[in-house]
Amino acid sequence: MAKARRILILGGTGQARELADLIAGLPGLTPVTSLAGRTAKPILPQGEIRSGGFGGVAGLAAYLRENGVALVADATHPFAATMSAHAAEACAQEAVPYLRLERPGWERQDEDNWREAHDIAAAAAMIEAGARALVTVGRQEIAPFLARSDISVFARMIEPLQDPAPGHAEIILARPPFSLEEELALMREKEISVLVAKNSGGAGYAKLIAARMLFLPVVLVARPQKPQAPLAASAEEMRDLILASLPRLPA
Ligand code: NAP
């Protein structure tokens, strides 16, 4: 019997988990999910798991070679731009197919009051003095908001900060997904006056609906550029793209 082919899934998202579960159900393929290792107790998918950085492009290229990876399915978060750039380059070096799962970004509706920021620093600079900002950009990128002592920051994140938060900031530890009711309750309880979010697409849309319902302005951080690649918009589409992209097994 032919050896199972290893599909390296670059993970850290719900869609990566869905994809690993789908691949685990296919004969002849083994999903190996790679996590950055930043979350203490991640929810794990089926198949093999590895954790921690590869050590840049060279480290990932060596990993692909040494582990006989047949294909890389990049299902990282739309804002994980470094990992995607490294993966595209390492795959090109090792002649391994590189595909990306990229969920569509959120689209503004007529009633939305959104302003787009091209990056996190620009988003932090766009908040008016005296605002009560619900900031949902994650722990790694919270620093420019904590540096704004002229605003009240309600920073939602999964893992706690290493250092104590400054007096004008409250850390809200919570793990997504959040329902519309939860988002509305939080915004009302904290008397939020502006929402800051990344245009991640996918399940986090409830907070944008809540902001629309409460007539709150939103500062939405635009997605970073990622490398050119064959794209799929959902885990199911990615499974089909993987099957179509794998070189045929010898008969
Ligand atoms: P990033 O800035 O693109 O990557 C920084 C470095 O972290 C990479 O160079 C790589 O280290 C390591 N890394 C990132 N993702 C990895 C993975 N899946 N497996 C192994 N190593 C990984 O990434 P990030 O934005 O910090 O995101 C880290 C993880 O959190 C990703 O898995 C991403 O899907 C998830 N996530 C990110 C966000 C976000 O807003 N950025 C939101 C939700 C989830 P080496 O160079 O040493 O290989």
pLDDT in tens, 192-202: 999 999 999 98
**Model confidence at 249: pLDDT above 60:** no
Q: Is 12 in the pocket of ligand 1 (CB under 6 A)?
A: yes
Please state whether the peptide bond connecting residue 45 to the residue before it is cis, i.e. omega within 30 degrees of 0: no
Q: Is 140 in the pocket of ligand 1 (CB under 6 A)?
A: yes
pLDDT at 41: 87
**Model confidence at 250: pLDDT above 60:** no
Name residue, tokens 């492009």.
57
What is the arithmetic mean of pLDDT over 130-154?
A: 97
What is Dmax (Cα atoms) for the chain? Answer: 68
**Looking at this protein, which amino acid is placed at residue 187?**
M
What is the arithmetic mean of pLDDT over 143-148?
A: 98
Q: Is 86 in the pocket of ligand 1 (CB under 6 A)?
A: yes
Ligand 1: centre distance to CA 234 (Å): 19
Which percentage of the chain shows pLDDT scores above 70?
Answer: 98
What is the arithmetic mean of pLDDT over 217-240?
A: 97
pLDDT at 2: 66
Beta partners for residue 157, in sequence order = 173
What is the arithmetic mean of pLDDT over 12-19?
A: 95
Confidence band of 251 (pLDDT split at 50, 70, 90) = very low
CA 84 to ligand 1: nearest atom: 3
Question: Left if phi > 0, otherwise alpha if psi is -120 to 50, otherwise beta: which for 47?
Answer: left
Confidence band of 170 (pLDDT split at 50, 70, 90) = very high
DSSP state, residue 204: G
Ligand 1: centre distance to CA 36 (Å): 5
Q: Is 78 in the pocket of ligand 1 (CB under 6 A)?
A: no
Q: Give the ranges where 107-218 is alpha helix by DSSP (H).
A: 120-126, 143-146, 180-189, 206-213
Could you tell which of 8, 76, 89 is best to mutate to test the pocket of ligand 1, judged by most ligand atoms within 8 Å of the CB?
A: 76
**Model confidence at 159: pLDDT above 60:** yes
CB 155 within 8 A of CB 133: no
Ligand 1: centre distance to CA 87 (Å): 11
Taking only the tens place, the pLDDT of each residue in 92-133 is 999 999 999 999 999 999 999 999 999 999 999 999 999 999
pLDDT at 248: 64
Taking only the tens place, the pLDDT of each residue in 21-68 is 999 999 999 999 999 998 888 889 999 999 999 999 999 999 999 999
Q: Is 142 in the pocket of ligand 1 (CB under 6 A)?
A: no
pLDDT at 3: 79
Measured distance CA(15)–CA(19) in Å, rounded = 6
Q: Is 56 in the pocket of ligand 1 (CB under 6 A)?
A: yes
**What mean pLDDT, rounded, does the chain reach?**
95
Q: Is 202 in the pocket of ligand 1 (CB under 6 A)?
A: no
Ligand 1: centre distance to CA 208 (Å): 24
pLDDT at 40: 84
Give me the count of residues in the chain. 251
Q: Is 201 in the pocket of ligand 1 (CB under 6 A)?
A: no
